[in-house]
Structure 1
Amino acid sequence: MAEVQSTFSLRRGDAAPGFQLPDPSGKLHELHELRGISGLLVVFACNHCPYVIHLADALGALSAEIESEGVMTIAISSNDIEKYPADAPEHMSTFAAEHGWNFPYLFDENQEVAKAYGAACTPDFFLFDHELRLYYAGQFDSSRPKSGQTPSGDDLRAAVKSMLAGEEPPARPYPSSGCNIKWKAGSEPPYFR
């Protein structure tokens, strides 16, 4: 699978696009109900991508760490499940449990939420402040599958720390890298073509 880098449509300070998405049980979740008192981390992910699998455990640990600071986490899968059935909702709960994801893992069947955020790859990270304004969009850390590096979440952790301290975000964060979102035929966003 080719590594792609995210192309963001959201800019620093932009409001998080609202949504209502189901979890694997069918329960609907709305954006405003998911944020923490200090912010929200939105992660576009899936079950089969080696880039997601590479950092899944570290993401589970980091999400617990930042939750204690009032920053909640959610993950959203937007892949075409007809072509990639391993990413279907019936497998999402198992994947989340295996990697310590104690946060909502939602399914974006029509892929409109991924498009609204400008998500391009899995994983793709968007950190919003307490007002749900974009603070950071960039990589988890510099590790990659087969790199020999253990995922640490250093880049994202530093962004959360800066946000909570009221500091300026990184001027030029390194973009997220991973597998492209598996768009449904004819549904590809302009930034993917």
Structure 2
Amino acid sequence: MAAIPPLCDFGWRAVDASVMGTDGQQHSILAQAGARGLVIAFICNHCPYVKAVIQRIMRDAKDLKELGVGFVAINANDAASYPADSYGNMQIFSQENAFPFHYLHDTDQTVAREYGAVCTPDFFGFNANSELQYRGRLDGSRKQEGITDLRRDLFEAMRQVALSGQGPREQVASVGCSIKWRENA
């Protein structure tokens, strides 16, 4: 069953943490920000929603970088119950797709809980002051690839944030697989 996150809580402040990346290094989440903002994407390796749009996620991350908006992806799924989302498989997934951003492993799920992440993919777009301005979908696709000329909701919203510091007031929630929480957490 698909999970749908709540819409944007405008002005909510991004929380920093140091999280292990697929490159074997610890990375500060907020250090990934560009001069004009940051997108934090909760994704995973096995989700059909993520797999359907991973190339467009990478395209948007590259295009947003040109606008001064940084990008980082985080996997918080319980790898014990979902081995496809293990750290080793994250490394393979990021290498196979040549991610142009850091892919971080939230092993204890504290970051996902702090952000209130609900699904994969779940996008959080912050302005230069680390204030939430976008919590919506990548585009109109779902578990299948969708047409190539879909409106780029995340990109257009973050372009607006980069130029004005403010996100669009009308946003469409992302849809995806639920975060796979640990039983004893």
Superposed pair shares fold, TM > 0.5: yes
Question: Normalized against structure 1, the TM-score is what?
Answer: 0.89
- State the partner residue of 1:85: 83
TM-superposed CA distance for 1:24, in Å, is 2.4
8 Å CA contact 1:4–1:178 kept in 2: the answer is yes
- State the partner residue of 1:6: 5
- State the partner residue of 1:59: 57
8 Å CA contact 1:143–1:151 kept in 2: the answer is no
> Could you tell me how far apart the structure 1 residues matched to 2:144 and 2:64 are?
27
8 Å CA contact 1:57–1:100 kept in 2: the answer is no
| Amino acid paired to 1:174 | V
- State the partner residue of 1:177: 175
CA-based RMSD? 1.8
TM-superposed CA distance for 1:105, in Å, is 0.1
Cα deviation 1:99-128 (Å, max 9, x = unaligned): 231100000001010011110000000011
Question: Normalized against structure 2, the TM-score is what?
Answer: 0.92
TM-superposed CA distance for 1:165, in Å, is 2.3
TM-superposed CA distance for 1:98, in Å, is 2.5
Whether 1:120 aligns to 2:92 is no
> Could you tell me how far apart the structure 2 residues matched to 1:142 and 1:29 are?
31
Identify the range of structure 1 (158-167 vs 103-112) with the bigger mean alpha-carbon deviation.
158-167
Runs of 4 or more above 6 Å deviation: none
* Aligned-partner SS, 2:135: strand
TM-superposed CA distance for 1:94, in Å, is 2.1
TM-superposed CA distance for 1:148, in Å, is 4.3
TM-superposed CA distance for 1:167, in Å, is 6.5
Q: Which runs of 5+ in 2 are unaligned?
A: none
Aligned length: 185
